[in-house]
Amino acid sequence: MKSYLPNWKFVHNISGNRVGRIIVAWDDSCCSVSVVGAMEQHMLCKVEMMGFLVFYLSVVYGAYLYVDRRLLWKNLIDSTVVDAPWVVAGDFNITRDAEQVKGGKLPEAIVVEEFNGCLDELDVTEQDGHGKVFTWCSNWRTREGQLRKLDHVFCNSEWMQSFSQSYVHIQPPDVSVSDHCLLSVHLKSNLVNG
């Protein structure tokens, strides 16, 4: 990666014998990132931009099996940021409701209830999005088959106060080389002029 992004820094959640699934990359000339906590399905980072703008970023890669995701819900709740802007983003491997599913069978009600219960306890809301509705396709080469919104960006009220004009852009599938669409968070701080 360093050959493609020579001025960028990287952190990951690979340590010891654990399976790491998350890599966080950033341009060191515009921000600094420090890891607050790293778990198998979640990393919490503190981001400082331009020397004064600070927020927290949780990056998620949820397990495929819902029983394994229960640990993710617990870890997120244990890592809740309440006194600073916080954004929680990534592949949660679950939809929030039937509207986020097209084709195939719906997830079991208990699985959706546990996810939404976690979000309620975190006191976060889904960030406004532009672009595609569904972020995953069962046949990514043809973009046909089952469609799901498995990738989400959530934020707390402090985030919305600091970045009320922020939004998520869900990239078109042809931009991505994955079965998931790329999500990018666009922000404009209320704390910075311009």
Question: pLDDT band for position 41 (50/70/90)?
Answer: very high
**Residue 64: how many CB atoms within 10 A of its CB?**
8
Lowest pLDDT segment from 51-55, 118-122, 132-136:
51-55
Which pLDDT tens digit goes with each residue over 170-194? 987 665 577 888 899 998 766 554 3
Residue 105 has pLDDT above 60, yes or no: yes
CA 21, CA 98: separation in Å to the nearest integer? 27
Best CA proximity match to 100, nearest among 110, 112, 90: 112
pLDDT of 143 strictly over 50: yes
User: How confident is the model at residue 132, as a pLDDT?
Assistant: 84
Residue 58 is predicted with a pLDDT of: 98
Six-digit token string for 36: 């607050």
Residues 23-28 have a mean pLDDT of 89
| Separation of alpha carbons 178 and 186, rounded Å | 21
What's the CA angle centered on 192, arms 49 and 88, to 5 degrees? Answer: 50
* DSSP labels, 14-81: --TTSPP--EEEEETTTEEEEEEEE-SSEEEEEEEETTTEEEEEEEEE--SSHHHHHHHHHHHHHT--
- All domains of the chain in start order, with CATH: 8-186 (3.60.10.10)
Is residue 20's pLDDT more than 70? Answer: no
pTM reported for the whole predicted model: 0.89
* pLDDT at residue 141 greater than cutoff 80: no
- Contact partners, residue 135, CB within 8 Å, separation at least 6: 148, 149, 150, 151, 170, 180, 181, 183
How large is the average pLDDT for residues 33-60? 92
Asked if residue 6 has pLDDT above 90, the reply is no
User: What is the rounded distance in angstroms from the CA atom of residue 13 to the CA atom of residue 134?
Assistant: 27
Residue that wins the pLDDT comparison between 36 and 192: 36
Listed range (53-57, 132-136, 158-162) with the worst mean pLDDT: 132-136
